[in-house]
Structure 1
Amino acid sequence: MATTNGENENRKLKILMLHGYTQTGHTFDIKTKALKKALDKHLPPAPKPGHLASYPGGVELVYPTAPIKLETADIPGFDVDGDKDAPEAYGWWRRKGDAEPYTYEGMDQGLAAIATVLEDQGPFDGVLGFSQGGAAAGLVASLLETGRREAFETAQAQGGMRYPDSFVQDSGYIEETIHAPLRFAVSYSGFGASNNALYQAFYTPKIQTPMMHFLGSVDTVVSEERSLRLVDACVDGRGKEGGVPRVVYHPGGHFLPSSGKQYVAALVAFIREVVEEGQGPAKGGAKGREEEERAEDMDMPF
């Protein structure tokens, strides 16, 4: 089993970045340039006074592209009769069904692609995702936790899905997960998976990995109810008294506030708190104009 990012002179804070539905790793990289710059600034190679963590190798964000190539019919708002070319658009799964309980076609394929990145480019300290990628971040954090395979086996006997084979490795003596439990997870406009019994082992028992959630107060793409489903599936989902808040609202829609000072400060404080095992929250934040990467107001099929 891979270990967490080791303590050495080249240590990096390494985060797996999971894009949203219809995006790619490349487009998500572009949309989060300001966030990467802010993390570099506020999580410097040498520790600041009062903080234990240091990352002499800096911050490294890894941006895989989901494996499911979307057709034009899968892309909300795309005019199939228009003259514009179909964009490069990918998803971690496709949602099937007109109402709850939904099923997710290709979820095994999407998780297997993430598992490959964890094995080939890890170890990672955390995972951060937007929209469908935010939902996937919760799934990945859950899958890597101690005891989660047993939860899946129990649920499978009652109609739940099988624990993904892609997250299991055979060391020759014992089967174990492909990567150590993550230190943290972050979701922007994410959501809990369908309430279909197939997926409940992801959330029962609750996700132990510390997870932070950013929600748009006027998000018309992912409802607050769906986002709070993921929040409430986490231990201390809404935060611990005296600690860094785990749920942060921004006064916008379906986008990632990558350079808003208070939102970057909240993210940095959360990361510091969880990696430094209870050190006080950071103060200050990144400067810069907030860049709002908006989606169309529509019901996205994820």
Structure 2
Amino acid sequence: MTTSNDQVPADRKLRILMLHGFTQSGHSFEIKTKALKKSLEKAFPAAPKPGHLKEYPGGLELVYPTAPIRLDPDDVVPSSSSAPGAGADVGKDGPDVQSESYGWWRRKGDAQPYTYEGMERGFERIASVLQEHSTEPFAGVIGFSQGGAAAGMVASLLEPDRRHAFETAQAKGGMRYPDSFVKDTGYIEETVHPPMRFAVSNSGFSAAMANAGLYQAFYEPKIMTSMLHVLGTVDTVVGEDRSLKLVESCVGGSGEGGKRVVYHPGGHFLPSSQKAYVAALVNFIRDVLGEDGGSGDAPAGGEKKEERAEDMDVPF
């Protein structure tokens, strides 16, 4: 079934990959972002509701996979802003030290340079989810903390020519391009999923600070995918320097092929219920998709159009 105007399938959804943090799970992350999900569903409804996206008339779908590495209590060691390791993801309710504690990788080593043990398994899990939706691809990826770092990596891995950058770096001791992200059609090797249209990192960081030589290919050349970076002003788990290192690894500017930085007045958590953050996220997605202000009908009742992120009272 397709729409009559531009032949976009009427059930095509704005599908977003949601990557949880260290010591969390897909289930716990979904619970923690319940308010955000509700806000995004309202912002991106299914047609013919006012404000729907012409390119995604089927509404919104968030997919929450769980990382493959089950963590032991010994793995859950809170870190400070000066520690470059993964650390425990601390929200308003404290560390997620529970039975559902998973990670996309573990930090190995007590001093720099660190390595991220199990990263291949983490990417295999993500690649399998991407392949499951290859016929109806994801539009973007949103991650928190370790998941925020992974969001930047996934966006990077799916970009054109990124594999060549890994091959060049590998010759100098860098990490090999993940085999799980390679799709061999028998004629030409492609990635398992098209490039992401956008990525969002909440309290994320650059792996290059742990081991520049090993992980630099994720960030050089710079990530071209449009990225929104959200940082907490009093985050003591992931220091600002680590998050800004990821920001610096993305192309400059705003809109398509650009980066934006938003600070929220809080610590190490995703501010899913803060109106300023949600509005910034919604406007960022609309701008990237080229449907700023909504490509569907204007909201009824004379409601004001949402402010552009750069016009809002939030520091960038």
> Per the shorter chain, which TM-score range?
0.7 to 0.9
Gaps of 5+ in 1: 1-5, 79-84, 286-302
In structure 1, the residue matched to 2:226 is 210
**1:241-278: per-residue Cα shift (whole Å, max 9, x none)?**
9x99710000000000001111100000000000117x
Q: Residue 228 of structure 2 aligns to a residue in which SS? A: strand
Aligned residue for 2:22? 21
How many residues align structurally? 271
For 1:148 and 1:59, the matched residues in 2 are separated by 29
The aligned counterpart of 1:118 is: 130
Separation in structure 2 between the aligned mates of residue 245 and residue 131 of structure 1, nearest angstrom? 18
The whole-number CA distance in structure 2 between the counterparts of 1:47 and 1:234 is 36
Q: Deviations over 1:83-107 (max 9, x none)?
A: xx95221000001122332110000
Moved over 6 A (4+): 47-51
How far residue 146 of structure 1 moved from its aligned partner, in angstroms, is 0.2
Local SS of the residue matching 2:208: coil
Partner of 2:182: 168
Q: In structure 2, how many angstroms separate the alpha carbons of the residues matched to 1:154 and 1:251?
A: 41
Conserved? CA contact 1:244–1:266, under 8 Å: no
2:48 matches 1:36: no
Contact kept in structure 2, 1:53 and 1:275, CA below 8 Å: no
In 2, the alpha carbon distance for the partners of 1:263 and 1:27 equals 21
Q: Secondary structure at the match of 1:155?
A: helix
Equivalent position to 1:157, from 162, 171, 174: 171
CA deviations 1:3-30 (Å, max 9, x no partner) are xxx9311110000000000000000000
CA RMSD of aligned residues (A): 2.5
Give 1:59's aligned residue: 60
1-structure distance, mates of 2:259, 2:158: 24
> Is the contact between residue 18 and residue 142 of structure 2 (CA under 8 Å) also seen in structure 1?
yes
Aligned to 1:98: 110
CA contact (8 A) 1:45 1:54 kept: no
- Larger displacement relative to structure 2 (255-264 or 52-61): 52-61
How many angstroms apart in 2 are the aligned matches of 1:99 and 1:44? Answer: 48
Deviation of residue 161 (structure 1)? 0.8
* 2-structure distance, mates of 1:244, 1:200: 20
Partner residue of 1:89 out of 97, 101, 109:
101
How far apart are residue 47 of structure 1 and its match?
7.5
How far apart, in 2, do the equivalents of 1:174 and 1:89 lie? Answer: 38
**Cα distance between partner residues in 2 of 1:24 and 1:31:** 10
Percent identical pairs in the alignment equals 68
Amino acid at match of 1:205: P
Give the TM-score of the pair, scaled to structure 2. Answer: 0.80
Residues 102 and 194, structure 1, Cα contact 8 Å, conserved in 2: no
Matches within 5 A, 1:211-290: 211-236=227-252, 239-240=253-254, 246-276=260-290, 279=292, 283=306
The Cα shift of 1:186 comes to: 0.3
Instruction: Give the AA of the match of 2:152.
Output: G
Q: In structure 2, do the counterparts of structure 1 residues 252 and 47 end up closer, same or farther at CA, with 3 Å as the change threshold?
A: farther
1: CA distance, partners of 2:194 / 2:215: 22
Amino acid at match of 2:64: Y
Q: Per-residue deviation at 1:181?
A: 0.4
2:287 alignment partner, SS class: helix
Counterpart of 2:186 in structure 1: which amino acid? G
The correspondence for 1:128, drawn from 134, 142, 160, is 142
| Displacement of 1:117 | 0.3
Over 3 Å counting, the alpha-carbon distance change for 1:245 and 1:166 in structure 2 is: closer
Query: Which of the residues 137, 152, 159 maps onto 1:145?
Result: 159
TM-score by length of 1: 0.84
